[in-house]
Chains A and B, each alone.
Chain A
Amino acid sequence: GDSVTQMEGPVTLSEEACLTINCTYTATGYPSLFWYVQYPGEGLQLLLKATKADDKGSNKGFEATYRKETTSFHLEKGSVQVSDSAVYFCALSDSTSGSRLTFGEGTQLTVNP
């Protein structure tokens, strides 16, 4: 079945540091890939997505590239801010699983001033 594996957290960075959160996946079909962010006490917000190989999703300074050869969708940001502190979820949607979302375990990011 489909699965998503994220790097273990928590991740703690200083403001303006570079961020990479690794995400790899297994899927039987041709999935779409997503990054969602969850701020404390809130639901999930879509951060970015990519629907086919070599697509790059980007939003709010974050970006991720759909790498089919390495089955990866790593999240990157060049300079994090305190307001980026949240839990980040990598997810995939695959037509062979009824287009449901399969989530990774989430990575807690804390950015200190």
Chain B
Amino acid sequence: GAVVSQHPSWVICKSGTSVKIECRSLDFQATTMFWYRQFPKQSLMLMATSNEGSKATYEQGVEKDKFLINHASLTLSTLTVTSAHPEDSSFYICSAREGGGPTDTQYFGPGTRLTVL
């Protein structure tokens, strides 16, 4: 089946630093990738949708200057949390979709746990 990887799986950083998280589709080309944030014991909150070669579309309330998303190729998207603060600590999950329709399955990465001290 389709595999999506994320790197790193966990990261601890100091407040004020920037952190980059990578999301890769390993065995398929992802026209669209999604970034989610998940708080403990809660559902996933969609942060942004990115299509290869174009700017990401951010959900309402998500700061695009703080959460920089780049989708430079059909197999790689990156999320950079700039000037991270403790409230940015969370579990970040990406997903990738090969097609563009509602019947196409999103495949999820294993997640990245970010802790900002």
A interface residue numbers (CB < 8 A to B): 29, 31-32, 34, 36, 41-46, 49, 51, 89, 93-95, 98-101, 103-106, 108
Contact = CB atoms under 8 A, between A and B. Distances in A.
Interface size class of B (residues with CB under 8 A): 20 to 34
Given A51-B103, A95-B101, A106-B43, A42 B111 contact: yes
Given A94-B102, A98-B49, A105 B107 contact: no
Contacts of A95: 101-102
B33 to A, nearest CB: 12
B43 A105 contact: yes
Contact of A104 (B6, B43, B46, B107): B43
B34 interface: yes
Contact of A46 (B43, B44, B101, B107): B107
Contacts of B67: none
B104 interface: yes
Contacts of B6: 43
B49 A100 contact: yes
B6 to A, nearest CB: 7
A95 B107 CA distance: 18
A43 B106 contact: no
A107 to B, nearest CB: 10
Contacts of B106: 46, 93, 101
Contact of B105 (A34, A41, A42, A94): A34
B103 A42 contact: no
